[in-house]
Structure 1
Amino acid sequence: MTLSGLLVFAAAYLVATASPGPGIAALVARVLAKGTRGVPWFIAGFVVGDLAWLAITAAGLSVLAQRFAVLFLVIKYAGAAYLLFLAFRLWSAPRDPVALDRPVPAESGPRLFLAGLAVTLGNPKVIVFFVALLPTVVRLDALSLAGLLEIAALGAAILTAVLSGYALAAARARRLFTSPRAVRALNRGTGAVMAGAAVAIAAR
């Protein structure tokens, strides 16, 4: 693929990934509530989910994906249910400010990966980009395997960088909450954001 083509894709993808949506809301809310532990697994699920949609679109399988609509609905609602579960836990979490500095119980890496994957596969923003917008940016009919791999590598790097930036910013903001009242507001605010992300995913 030409350098100009890669730059056009990079610019479009960067704008799409950096714009707030259900996935970023879920990531930021989780980091605000629990810190950065386990976040690489969560981000990896996002990246693989985006790559899956890239592969589906590049292979011209959008019609095939529609035939498996029930499967994608199950994945979508599983991701939304997971976010609602996290939202409930955050809303009912203790408001002890000291808890922010305590080690967070380890969550299963594969579980976080699958959660990120489910959220991404059912994320309407991701679907719109790859199914509707990507064909206007990249000539998929003339895309070689090498070009597809170049786009995949570039997309994975951009998405990882963007999500890591959001995670680090949320981790810094998390340190500002030092009073019980602030911690309660943080927990309930992030819980509400997580629930909103779940509704956004499930409603489309």
Structure 2
Amino acid sequence: MTFSNIVSLFIAMVVLAAIPSLSVLTVTTRAATYGFVDGVFTTIGLVTGDIIFILIAIWGLSFLSEAMGSLFIVIKYLGGAYLVWLGISLCRSKVQEMTIKKPVNSSLFSSFVTGLVITLGDQKATLFYLGFLPAFLDVSKISYLDTIAVILVATLAVGGVKLMYALMADKVSAIASSKTKNKINLVAGCVMIAVGIFVIVKA
């Protein structure tokens, strides 16, 4: 991976991590109800799940590239189309105001598991990374260093954004109005569409 690839990947992941979603709601809920530390452990769980999917996607893509040869281009087209569809869905989605209910008790381990399960329970994650990573990584020339770079980028980008959400939730118990979240969805959706088109063009 080149430095420009790393920077581009980092920016894209920051934007995507900022999208109001179940993971964001979970982090903010845990932080607002139990404190910032619980938000941190929930974030660690989320990032751990992302790393697992990244490893599956990267080495799965590498295997497919070697086994399928030119047919692998079809996978890229499908992945790019999926990203465009996801971007359009984000642009059209409307976020409603959500209230946070305080449960009785919790533990740091349960916060970690909550974050991990939410990520691993998302069956779209693997398909997402299959379509997303080829825009920044040449899977035919994958190396362990590239894998480590992607994991570090994901940890800093996704983890950093979720921690900011947790910190804000801990301080004010609310992130933003639904109007603001809708604007975030629109921007993130446009980024997704652009990345999807980029993947298709590169294929």
TM-score, length-scaled by structure 2: 0.59
- Aligned residues, how many? 140
Quickly say closer, same or farther: Cα 1:128–1:27, change in 2 above 3 A. farther
RMSD: 3.0
- Name the residue aligned to 1:90: 101
Contact 1:9 1:138 in 2 (8 A): no
Paired residue secondary structure (1:59): helix
1:2 maps to a residue whose letter is T
CA deviation after TM superposition for structure 1 residue 134, in Å: 1.9
CA deviation after TM superposition for structure 1 residue 109, in Å: 2.5
Structure 1 segments (4+ residues) deviating >6 Å: 61-64
- Name the residue aligned to 2:112: 113
- Name the residue aligned to 2:26: 26
Tell me the percent identity. Answer: 26
User: Quick one: distance in 2 between partners of 1:44 and 1:147?
Assistant: 22
2:39 maps to a residue whose letter is V
- Name the residue aligned to 1:48: 48
User: Quick one: distance in 1 between partners of 2:17 and 2:149?
Assistant: 18
- Name the residue aligned to 1:5: 5
Paired residue secondary structure (1:131): helix
Q: Deviations over 1:88-116 (max 9, x none)?
A: x937x6xxxxxxxxxx85x3332221211
CA deviation after TM superposition for structure 1 residue 119, in Å: 0.3
Contact 2:40 2:166 in 1 (8 A): no
- Name the residue aligned to 1:70: none
- Name the residue aligned to 1:159: 158
2:129 maps to a residue whose letter is F
Structure 1 unaligned runs (5+)? 65-88, 94-103, 176-204
- Name the residue aligned to 1:135: 134
Structure 2 unaligned runs (5+)? 65-99, 175-203
User: Quick one: distance in 1 between partners of 2:53 and 2:62?
Assistant: 9
Contact 1:21 1:125 in 2 (8 A): no
Contact 2:30 2:111 in 1 (8 A): no
